[in-house]
Structures are given as C-alpha cells and as structure tokens.
Amino acid sequence: MSLNAGALPDFLRRHTGREPSALRLGFIDDAGAPYADQPFGSFEWNQLTDLGFRLTRMTVGKYRDARDFASDLGTVDAVYLSGGHTFVLLGALQSNGTGEVLKERVRAGLPYIGLSAGSVVAGPNVEPVAPLDDPADAPDVTDFTGLGLVDTVVIPHADGLLPPYPPSVIEEVVRTYGGRFPLTRVNDDQALLVEDGVATLIPSGIT
C-alpha cells in the first residue's frame, strides 16, 4: 500500500477466512524510527486498530537472534511493515538475519503487508526511491537489494499529493531509474495486490 489501508480487510479475509478482529498483525516499525516524534507517527497504528486488527509491535533491529524473530512470527496471522524511511528499514532487516527469516515465512504463506517503505522493500531493489528517502541516513546500507518477494519496485505516493513527494520528484524517479528497474507507481488510494505471482493495482481508499 501507499498510504490508505482500504484494501487490507478483504485481502486478509481471503487469505485467512477471518475478520480483522480475529487477526493479529506483527507490526514491524523500524522504518518509522527516524520520525518517531512526528505527529504522523501514530497514523498507521491507529488506522489498523480502527479497522479492528490486533497488533503486536516488532522492531526487527532489536533482535539479537533471528530465531527469536522467527518464533515471534509464529504468533501472528500476517506481517505488516510500516512506512517511514526505506533505507533505515532495509538496514534493520539486513543487520541480523531477520530479512531472510521474513522471506522464508512469506514464501511459506504468511501474508505480507507493506505501506510505503514497507512496500518498497518487498521488491528486488530499493535504489529507485533514493530521491524520496536519502540513503545517507542509513550509511551502513551498501547493498540495496530488497526482499525480492515481488518482481517490481513500488513507487509509493505516485499521485504526488503528499507535500514531501511532489509530482516532480516522482517523475525524477521514473526518468532516472525506469530504464534500469521495473517500476510500479502506486497512488495513495491504491494498493499493489500480488497473489499467485500475478500483480494487480486495486483501490485502497480511506477507511
């Protein structure tokens, strides 16, 4: 997803057969760490709880042993990677093996939900969002390879409606990286649904 979570309840109903109130999401919040003191920091958490989901906060960068992360994933019905800084999130996933554990679990059937940065890291490479998030904010990240769960790089906020990401920045991304990477622009009222290897842009409006 890019911003709004309207598509999420139906997605999880199909994959779990249960309503939001019966589901627990593992809320991976590392991308939001640089913005913890900003007013929008609670937006996603509130959006999900308003939909009825129960949340378990998981900060992957705090795990010393990826096996503990694997154990915690066994207690949730789906995993949700929040928005924020893409390169900070990637660095956390690379730092301790949690990224590899996450890939294995998702490929084994654990539903994956990402918003903004969380959707970008699901792709093959995060380099194309450098005009949106400064890689220098995560200096330890030298390998921009994503989780590779989908075959395209999501470019969130592609409608240019959020002030930090005007249309000129989105066009810069496409102009600079479109020849090197497969890109999918996702507007704030859309989500990229990937099921059985088939990717489809679907509506995901304000809930």
Catalytic member of 2, 82, 116, 119: 116
Half-sphere exposure of 167 (CA within 13 A, CB side): 1
The verdict on whether 82 is a catalytic residue reads no
d(CA 112, CA 204): 16
Contact (Cβ atoms closer than 8 angstroms) between residue 16 and residue 111: yes
With a CB cutoff of 8 Å and minimum separation 6, the contacts of 157 are 2, 3, 116, 132, 165, 170, 186, 187, 188
Contact (Cβ atoms closer than 8 angstroms) between residue 35 and residue 88: no
The verdict on whether 85 is a catalytic residue reads no
Catalytic residues: 116, 157
